[in-house]
Chains A and B, each alone.
Chain A
Amino acid sequence: VPAQEQSPSNQTSLAMMQEPQEVMEETVTIEEDPGTPTSHVSVVTSEDGTTRRTETKVTKVVKTITRRTFQPVILTESKPSPSTATPSETKPVTKMVKTVTTRTVRQVPLGPDGLPLPEGSSPLGSYTDSIDRRYMKNGERFITPQATSTLTRSYNNYSDSYNDAPDSQFRHYALHDGYGDMPNNYGSLSRGVNYRPYQPYMPTGGYRPENSYTLPIRKDDYGHVAQPQVPMGSSTVDLNRSQPERFQPEPYGLEDDRRSLGPDDEEPYDLVPDYSTANRRTLPGHTIREPLRNGPRVRGYEDPIEAELIDERHPYIHGMYPAPLAQPERGSLASLDRMGGRRSPSIDSIRKDPRWRDPDLPEVIAMLGHPIDPVKSNAAAYLQHLCYENDKIKKDVRQLKGIPMLVGLLDHPKAEVHRKSCGALRNISYGKDHDNKVAIKSCDGIPAHIRLLRKTNDMEVRELITGTLWNLSSYEPLKMVIINHGLQTMTNEVIIPHSGWEHEPNEDSKPRDAEWTTVFKNTSGCLRNVSSDGAEARRRLRECEGLVDALLHALQSAVGKKDMDSKSVENCVCIMRNLSYHVHKEVPGAEKFQDPSALQGPGSAGTQRKKKDDAGCFGGKKAKEEWFNQGRKNGEHDKNYDTLDLPKRTEPTKGFELLYQPEVVRLYLSLLTESQNYNTLEAAAGALQNLSAGQWTWSNYIRATVRKEKGLPILVELLRSDSDKVVRAVAIALRNLSIDRRNKDLIGSYAMRDLVSNLPSGQQRPAKNLEEDTVVAILNTIHEIIIDSSENARSLITAQAIDKLVAINRTSQSARETKAASHVLQTVWSYKELRNALTKDGWNKTHFQPIPTGTPKGSKSCKPGYDDTTLPLMETNQGNRGCSGGDVIPMDELGPDGYSTIDQRDKDSKYKSSDGSSDLQEREPLKNDTNRKHYIRSNRPTVSLVDACDVKPQPVDSWV
């Protein structure tokens, strides 16, 4: 009885070890998501420019007009070839864009969360894009009579702010409506026409870079540009057109500005000061930017082609950004600061022009419902920018009911609108504030995203959607919601097509490789998170049609291409690992494959164990003799298993059955051999751990297959890994694998040294300084290996482990370590044939006894709560400890428990007894060797069995 009680504690500890793995991974995933999205945004922006062209066709005319306006300027600079110059300039611009993008990418890693840096750049970029779009769109609208009317409305709506706003603001408005109205502007315009055309543009450019807030910038540009235009324009119509193109944003921007003007002083978001051109120029960054600006500007104005304009702008924008990017933190953060209301006095003073200000948050959110689509999309883009890396604003948006409005826009037919809305939602969904995630879910944001995912072919939008879903999936309560609404869609829309897997492959089509796209990465990350949501989630994923097949295909493709370090691969392996957890209990029809012994109650299992143990206690001779006997027995078993399994194999396996087919062993071993990614290594080892746990037919096969595929040396080698969690996962996997008797013997012979070297020596931790969980895992594995094998116990002694074990037992500050070491020592002492050698080395019985609770050390290590009960138990065990010790550690349980869902982990269930220990105890059935499984691929003639004891392997001969 005492022995049994001990076992639970051991089991629990094992379970613990595994559990942390899962959790850790999930957390990591989540954090990574946000970062990616942000960075993407910026990239997307650049791409968007191209798309927009179509919309703006009208602009051509306008451009011509514009030219006129600027011609004077151009003339001064370079009359000869304005047109030629433009194209050439354009190219450089494009290049600049590229550079910008790269920077963004770099920044991503830099950010503390991964996000910060990218955010600064990306939001800005997107923001800018949106501005451009506005321009274009606005231009259209402006041209159209309706558009004009809308503008007016906006005017009216914002009339209040107007009143508050200074004259200058009004002027801008006036510009839109009628240029003639604004005397001041005209004056400036005239100047601008002659001398300053560049300047006004310049400010624009400078503006963006400096402030990154698009709205204000636009306005400024607007104002400046508009003024020149007015004078220039020969006809009102022309003027209007021209305005819309360049300045269209202004109308909206203007509206915004007006609004913002009122609140400016108080509003944190106001950009007002920034807009003056003089300031911009004054800014240190300007010098750098100006050259860039000039190029783009010239082109834009000069070029008759819309497309060029667009390109210019984007590049332009990017170009502007470079300066901030160069100092990413300053640039983006500075802008953020301003937005957040933390304006520094100096900046304020620099921005002398009080005319412009950004809309405040309520205004922006209100704009989401604006009748004009570009306003909506601009507002959404602006929100995305504001929310970047700013939890406060995210919260404000939520409290201002902005999230439902954004979600509502997901169904908007215009790509521009739902795209920007996606961007904003992605940023909002990122972060530790789960309320934002819940808010998205509460307004049916998850089905809305899924709907859009089904509908859109726009890569950018798909990246945004899946990024958001990944973010949402990090919050436990949302996982099942995502599964319910999106599992099959994500599988069908993303996982399957990108994995290269085909339901019914054509004969002529070659098998496709997986495409490691961002969309795939995001989606697999999302599924990875939701796959940890307990048995029901696992069941849903396993039964999701095509999912497991596609994941396997993708992983095999990764192995084939030796591309195994990516995040996507990591996500896939983690999903597989999670889905492999408890397959032997949860898979439909699993009971058919259960080992008969496993079906017995815990009580009977206990007795079986005991008998076995007794045998073990009798002496060392047992080891080899018994082993041979078992080998015979196992041979018989094998036959049975073969007949059992074969029928199953007549049909090609598919779906979740693939999870535990022996073929996957090779896949995981390839990953373990080749991948440099610790998370992937841990997950692959974890998958083997899960699959080799349990008492059903398949786990028997898996255990044997790992051996035959030469997996044991691979695993043993990973015991030397620098990564704590890899060592832990491998150690537990070895423990489960050693349920197989041959594996146990091999592991005892060849892994003992590496296992022992991971143990802390004395009070001194080894260089690796492994965590408690890892040390306990290793101790438990050692314990498992030496149970019923005096041979292995002997090699434990040979490996000079006794020193370390005694030291841990006496001096470790960890009760769990102490207990685990004590179990090992008791087992060692139980082999009477070894005592002689031990005594020779100076050990005596006291070294192998558990430290009494009463001792100071014992009390220290055993914190109240868990170990009180266990320690006394151990003492009582002393009599029969050796043999009974084996019962303590149920291997099977360990694996599965580890993977238990987060909830369990949270409960701090480490020390509570594990439920399933009973099945584990019955190992005997497990020890069948499956020497000649048909399922083992025979296409590798050279492969010899790792297990030297197995049926005679062909001698391997390798040419080198």
Chain B
Amino acid sequence: MSFMPGQPVSTVVQRIEIHKLRDGDNLILGFSIGGGIDQDPSQNLFSEDKTDKGIYVTRVSKGGPAEVAGLRMGDRIMQVNGWDMTMVTHDQARKKLTKKNEDVVRLLVTRKTLEDAVRQSMMQH
């Protein structure tokens, strides 16, 4: 999925709602992110286009809230609670995800398998 900053993107997205798990003072989502406009995109293992500086899900902890909600490794996060994640720094993305006052995070993600699935279904028709 190639992506040009500032350009409209048409892609298949999935909405994922994650309820944070409270662990002491911490709220846990149970996944890790990589990427961001301040990161080296060429080292992103999950991007198709090695110039993509988007935010990707790099790991999902087993049995954690994210996995329960259906998030998968390699998902590209487009939005967090309505905030655009395609043109943000790594830290900005992290902050949006880890707001202390939000117990629920709604993600808009896209993943290759998703596109593939759609494409296949369209081919069938």
A residues adjacent to B (C-beta < 8 A): 710, 712-713, 717, 750, 798, 944-948, 952-960
Contact = CB atoms under 8 A, between A and B. Distances in A.
Contact of A955 (B40, B94, B97, B98): B40
Contacts of A945: 38
B90 interface: yes
Interface residues of B, number: 28
Contacts of B43: 952-955
Contacts of A959: 31-32, 59, 61
A79 to B, nearest CB: 59
Contacts of B34: 955-958
B115 interface: no
B55 to A, nearest CB: 10
Given A958-B90, A960-B98, A953 B29 contact: no
A955 B61 CA distance: 19
B11 interface: no
Nearest to A953: B40
Nearest to A799: B6
A956 B31 contact: no
Given A952-B42, A957-B33, 20 more contacts: A947-B38, A948-B37, A948-B38, A948-B40, A948-B53, A952-B43, A953-B39, A954-B43, A955-B43, A955-B44, A956-B36, A956-B39, A957-B32, A957-B58, A957-B59, A958-B34, A959-B61, A960-B28, A960-B31, A960-B94
B40 A710 contact: no
Contacts of A948: 37-41, 53
Contacts of A958: 32-34, 90, 94
A790 B90 CA distance: 27
Contacts of B97: 960
Nearest to A942: B90
A953 B31 CA distance: 21
25 contacts: A710-B89, A713-B37, A713-B89, A713-B92, A717-B92, A944-B38, A947-B38, A948-B38, A948-B41, A952-B43, A953-B43, A954-B43, A955-B40, A955-B43, A955-B45, A956-B34, A956-B39, A956-B90, A957-B32, A959-B32, A959-B61, A960-B29, A960-B32, A960-B94, A960-B98
Which of B44, B90, B94 lies at the interface centre, i.e. has the most chain A CB atoms within 10 A of its CB? B90
B89 A946 contact: yes
B91 interface: yes
Contacts, number: 65
A297 to B, nearest CB: 52
A955 B33 CA distance: 10
Going nearest first, the 4 A-B pairs with the smallest beta carbon separation are A955-B43, A960-B97, A713-B89, A946-B38
Contacts of B91: 710, 713
A712 B36 CA distance: 14
A944 B33 contact: no
Nearest to A713: B89
Contacts of B39: 944, 948, 953, 955-956
A929 to B, nearest CB: 15
Interface centre among B61, B91, B94, B98 (most CB of A within 10 A): B91
Contacts of A798: 6
Contacts of A953: 39-40, 43
**Residue among A944, A957, A959 facing the most chain B CB atoms (10 A cut-off):** A959
Interface in B19-64: 28-29, 31-34, 36-45, 53, 58-59, 61
A952 B59 CA distance: 21
A954 B58 CA distance: 14
A520 to B, nearest CB: 30
Contacts of B45: 955
A960 B92 contact: no
A627 to B, nearest CB: 16
A952 B42 CA distance: 9
Contacts of A944: 38-40, 90
Interface string B74-100: 000000000000000111101001100
Nearest to A746: B38
A720 to B, nearest CB: 12
A946 B94 CA distance: 15
